[in-house]
Structures are given as C-alpha cells and as structure tokens.
Amino acid sequence: MPVNLVAPDPAALYPVAGVELGFAEAGIRKAHRRDLMLMHLAPGTRVAGVFTQNSFAAAPVQVCRRHLGAGAAIRALVVNAGNANCGTGERGLKAAEASCAAVAKLVGCASTEVLPFSTGVILEHLPIDRIEAALPRCVASLGADHWADAAAAIMTTDTVSKGVSVRQSIGGRNVTVTGIAKGVGMLQPNMATMLAYVATDAAVAADALHQLVRQVADVSFNRVTVDGDTSTNDSFILIATGAAGGAEITVDHPDFAALRSAVERVAIPLAQAIARDGEGATKFITVQVEAAADADEALRVARGIANSPLVKTAFFASDPNLGRLLMAIGNAGVPDLDTSRVNLWLGDVQVIESGGRAASYVEADGARVMAPDEITVRVSLGRGGAGTTVWTCDFSYDYVKINAEYRT
C-alpha cells in the first residue's frame, strides 16, 4: 500500500507543447499489459540527463550517454518495462541500438537522435523482435495528452503510476512542466529501477539545461532511498521543447531560478512518490539534517538514518527507539563528531538533547509522534551551516515478502 499516494488524475497532467506520447503492449515479459512507451519530441527540443553511478550501468544507459554526449538533437525516447537489458554485453548494446534504429525509421530521424531506456529483469536478453513489432502501434497512438498512459506503461512493480504537473508564469510566459516516474518496487525482483522524465515547454539554453538536471536531481531523486541499493538503470531525463517561446533561459538569466523552482515542484513530489510506493512501505519518513559542517556529511548522516535496517524496522513498529537513531548518527563516519552537540527531534518532540535523552522527553510523546504514517526526523549536528533532506519509507514484513518471492 503506497503511503498517501494515488495515481494522478489524467486531466491534471498538462500536455507540454512539443511532446507526444504513445504506448503499446509488446509482451516483453507478460502478455496483455502496456510495457512499451514512446515519447516523440518536436524539432529544436533540448534534452539533458543524469544516470546511475552503478558500475554495471545497463546497455541502454551506455547508449543514452553516448547519444547525449555526441551532442545530436534528440527527437525520441523509447522505454520498455519487463527487461533491464543489463549484464548483457555486446549483444545488449546492439539490442539497445536496434531499438533506436527502429524508432528512427518510424519517426524519421537519425538513430543517434533516439534515447533508449529499459527497466525490469537483469541478465536476460532484450526481446528486440517484440519491441520492433510493437513500435508501429506506439507511433499510431502518439498524442499530447497521453502522459497518464505513459506513466502506467513504464511501471514494473509500482503499485500506482506517478505523475506531477505544474503551470507557472516565468518571464511573463505561461510555462508548463510535466513529469512522470517509476519507482523502486520489487513485486517481481530485479526491478529496482528508477526512471523519471520531466518535460517543459520553456526555452532553455543547452548549458542551463545540463546544470538544471543536475541541480534538480540533487534535491529530488538523489534524496530518495528505499534500501540503499542503487539500480543499474536509474535515469532522470529533463526535456525542454521551447514551444512556450521567448529567449532561451541561460544560467545567468533572471528567470533561471523561477524555472528551477517550477521543475523542482514536479521532481520533488515525483521523488517522494517513489518512497511512498517503496517496497512494503507503511510509513513515509522525512529525515532532515541541519548544522552539518558541509553538505557531504549532512547527506551521510541523513542516509545513515534512512538506510539503517534497525531504524527502519523501528518506524514500521511505530517505536520511538532512540538508541537506534543515536547509533545510526554515530555510524555515519562524521570525523571528530562532538556527540554532546547533537540534538534530535521526532516531529515536534525533542528526544535527544546534547547527545543524551532529552530531559523533557517522556515515552508517551515519542509514541504519539511515531504513530502517524508520515514522520519527520530532524537532527542538528552543531557543527556548521550545511543541511539536507532525505525521504524514505519503513521496513516491513512485506519488504521481505516482496523481495524473497521467487522471480516468477
């Protein structure tokens, strides 16, 4: 059960001028479900992306990096669910290139102008013939108002589809930002893949788009964790069609901050949606770290808390288990941490004060703030001015059940 998350209302996912989406049943892993998605982009569209840091980056990730690195225009994205095309060697790279070539032929562009994405089982070869056979149906179904269908077609083990859309006036022009993502569910193990696509009709300079995708990733998708395991296929793609018109927004442009804010308003709830729909999640947890010496140690402490199995099982049990929080902070490898300056709050209740149990703390307050399905942990390290926020979910029986089930 996702935590306070429902599938988006299709009418609330605004079209982005210059973007059309299609989908089809390709039968990649299971029959009778949409598992292929095509995104067609108008000429002049700019695309930037960030990808997994896993050494076993999947074949489509390698091809994406190559096509984006070559500086070609990007005219289409093709995404399949059910097979990750990872650990598949040369044959996998050829399959990813073949899917690009098939799309290119259908939409009339160069195959280097297509980006491929895969999500699903690792170490199995991509059934490229089924993708080629289904692509004409994807093209036939292309439409500007198909964002909700596209969000559903890229799901693997997600329990609900994920999409967010905002409209905002930037520099006197109405700009739309719409995004979809799939998350880290494992009803069919090996599917721990995060894919996210955010498109805007704003006109954005190439450099600015590259900086924007990194800056936004750092405050959204890179701040989510379910179990600390980085998948081989993670990709976040930012698309700017320019259809809204006006001069291109550069990094130094006064509208850059407004644009970043609009993209964050889409990316952050999408990122949170992944934690809300984490494997077996019953709680949505926000971990805030403040007064760190630098951003790096803030993130280490936040992830240390968010990834500790002992902390996560305590959240599942609604148990204000303060010792485990203390352990997780102390375990984060902060050099020369003066524990007597550490303070910690669960919701509005201070539970740790100067490195020990807060004098004012009573167990009943802890139990009260741990009961709801959304909980905030706030830590102050007393070392400096840096901070960060990480979102995660708890660790339930269902996490083990979902991940221990055989790959059927």
- CB count within 10 Å of CB 333 equals 10
Specify whether the CB–CB gap between 302 and 388 falls below 8 A: yes
As a residue count, the chain comes to: 408
Regarding 331 and contact with a copy of itself (CB under 8 A), the answer is yes
Q: Answer yes or no whether residue 377 interacts with a copy of itself by CB under 8 A.
A: no
For residue 11, the one-letter residue type is A
Q: Shortest approach of a copy of itself to residue 317 CB, angstroms? A: 4
10: helix, coil or strand? helix
Among 144, 330, 373, 389, binds a copy of itself (CB under 8 A): 330
Question: The tokens of 216 are what?
Answer: 């936004």
314 binds a copy of itself (CB under 8 A): yes
Distance CA 142, CA 163 (A): 18
In angstroms, how far is CA 218 from the centroid of its own chain? 11
> Measured from the CB atom, is 5 or 326 closer to a copy of itself?
326
Rg of the chain on CA atoms, in Å: 22
Asked if residue 278 lies in contact with residue 184, where contact means CB atoms within 8 angstroms, the answer is: yes
Task: Report the residue number, 216 or 402, with the smaller CB distance to a copy of itself.
Answer: 402
The residues, ordered by sequence, that sit 6+ positions from 368 with a Cβ below 8 Å of its Cβ are 349
Shortest distance in whole angstroms from residue 309 CB to a copy of itself: 4
Contact call for residue 384 and a copy of itself (CB under 8 A): no
Query: Pick from 121, 199, 243, 274: which binds a copy of itself (CB under 8 A)?
Result: 121
Q: Which stretch binds a copy of itself (CB under 8 A): 34-42, 82-90, 136-144, 210-218?
A: 82-90
Smallest gap from Cβ 188 to a copy of itself, in A, equals: 11
User: Considering only 66-74, 142-150, 246-254, 334-342, which stretch makes contact with a copy of itself by CB under 8 A?
Assistant: 334-342
Which residue among 294, 296, 319, 348 contacts a copy of itself (CB under 8 A)? 319
Residue 162 to residue 154: CA distance in whole angstroms: 10
Q: How many CA atoms lie within 13 A of 246 on its CB side?
A: 18
Is 55 among the residues that bind a copy of itself (CB under 8 A)?
yes
Find residue 380's DSSP bridge partners.
Answer: 290, 343
Q: Pick from 84, 131, 166, 379: which binds a copy of itself (CB under 8 A)?
A: 84
DSSP H helical segments within 49-123, as ranges? 59-69, 89-107
Closest to 175 in 3D by CA, of 96, 242, 81: 242
Q: Which residues does 213 contact at the CB level (< 8 Å), separation at least 6?
A: 48, 49, 50, 236, 237, 238
Asked if 396 interacts with a copy of itself (CB under 8 A), we say yes
Q: Which residue in the set 141, 250, 261, 354 belongs to the binding site for a copy of itself (CB under 8 A)?
A: 354
CB atoms within 10 A of CB 293: 17
Catalytic site includes residue 159: no
> Shortest distance, CB of residue 267 to a copy of itself, whole angstroms?
23
Q: Give me the catalytic one of 45, 88, 193, 241.
A: 193
CB of 323 to a copy of itself, least distance (A): 3
340 near a copy of itself (CB under 8 A): yes
**Which residues are CB-contacts of 36 (< 8 A; sequence separation ≥ 6)?**
23, 24, 25, 26, 28, 78, 79, 80, 81, 131, 134, 135, 138, 153
Among 13, 50, 337, 377, binds a copy of itself (CB under 8 A): 337
Residue closer to a copy of itself, measured from CB, 75 or 324: 324
Site string for a copy of itself, 207-246 (x = CB under 8 A): --------------------xxxxxx--------------
Site residues (vs a copy of itself, CB under 8 A)? 54-57, 84, 86-89, 121-124, 186, 189-190, 192, 227-232, 308-310, 313-314, 316-317, 319, 321-324, 326-332, 334, 337, 339-340, 352, 354-357, 395-397, 399-401, 403-407
Catalytic residues: 193
